[in-house]
């Protein structure tokens, strides 16, 4: 573990000692306490081989969640691999905002546009067992991952997938809340992102166009023309995009615009509502 931490440090991995310990726990199936108690024992050959394989992957900046095959989000475990963005804690504030705006009534319908791994949709459905929803995802590979996560959480009876672009989806007028984490990175910035993101997250889920705002313009226009009056929309945003996204939503005629920060103090979510009347 000490040698692995040194290698991870050289590879530029943050908190290399913690990562080495997590990789050993993953390889061995032992908790941190158990590793401490057995620290004087020689590692079996098969464990050494498994641990070495994981360390090499992490040195290459493969996300830990991809090595483990799972990611934690909103207290739930999700299958995680290169088919979609890794579920990240910053996005949990988006779910919290949606739960505040979702009416307290049974039988409601929600939609998650660009659902990716399905983490936003699934977190909402698990928290609100009286609600059903649709994940709209144009990428076939990402949709297959969302389907696996829906099955993992036994939500097949309440969660549907529409494998198509959101502009072609016919269900806009039937939903009571819309949520999305669209691509919002400026095209020119993608080449400078951390290797974990740049090399292992799908570019289609990152690239938001020249100014990072293409998806918001499209979604705002579709929301205004297709949603039922009064329907709330909740969007994840980049840390520096609150003002721009607010302006886009306002220009589209949406009302009751608000925002919230993530645990790191960065702007992370903007919401609005299709006006009534």
Q: Binding site for S-adenosyl-L-methionine: which residues?
A: 114-118, 137, 166, 181
First-last CA distance in the chain: 63
Annotated binding site: 114-118, 137, 166, 181-184
> Hey, what are 75's tokens?
């207290």
Annotated binding site for substrate: 181-184
Residue 84: strand, helix, or coil: coil
Question: Residues near 153 by Cβ (< 8 Å), separated by ≥ 6?
Answer: 76, 122, 125, 126
Burial 143-164 (b: 16+ CB within 10 A, else e): bebbbebbeebebeebbbbbbe
Rg, Å, the chain Cα set: 21
Pairing relation of β-strands 267-273 and 177-180? Answer: unpaired
Residue 77 burial by CB count (10 A; 0-12/13-18/19+): exposed, middle or buried?
Answer: middle
């Amino acid at each position: 573990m000490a040698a692995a931490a040194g290698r991870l440090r050289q590879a530029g991995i943050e908190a290399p000692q913690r990562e080495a310990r997590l990789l050993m726990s993953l390889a061995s199936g032992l908790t941190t306490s158990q590793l401490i108690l057995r620290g004087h024992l020689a590692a079996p050959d098969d464990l050494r081989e498994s641990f070495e394989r994981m360390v090499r992957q992490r040195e290459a900046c493969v996300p830990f969640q991809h090595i483990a095959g799972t990611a934690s989000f909103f207290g739930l475990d999700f299958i995680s691999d290169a088919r979609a963005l890794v579920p990240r804690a910053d996005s949990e504030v988006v779910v919290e905002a949606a739960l505040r705006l979702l009416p307290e009534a049974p039988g409601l319908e929600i939609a998650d546009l660009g659902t990716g791994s399905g983490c936003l949709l699934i977190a909402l459905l698990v928290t609100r067992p009286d609600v059903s929803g649709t994940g709209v995802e144009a990428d076939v590979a990402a949709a297959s991952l969302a389907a696996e996560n829906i099955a993992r959480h036994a939500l097949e009876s309440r969660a549907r997938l529409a494998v198509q672009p959101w502009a072609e989806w016919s269900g806009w007028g039937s939903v009571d809340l819309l949520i999305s984490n669209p691509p919002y990175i400026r095209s020119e910035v993608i080449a400078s992102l951390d290797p974990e993101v740049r090399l292992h997250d799908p570019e289609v889920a990152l690239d938001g166009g020249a100014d990072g705002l293409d998806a918001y313009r499209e979604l705002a226009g579709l929301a205004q023309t297709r949603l039922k009056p009064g329907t709330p929309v909740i969007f994840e945003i980049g840390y520096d995009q609150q003002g721009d996204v607010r302006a886009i939503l306002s220009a589209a005629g949406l009302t009751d615009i608000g925002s919230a920060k993530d645990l790191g103090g960065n702007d992370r979510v903007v919401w609005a509502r299709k006006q009534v009347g």
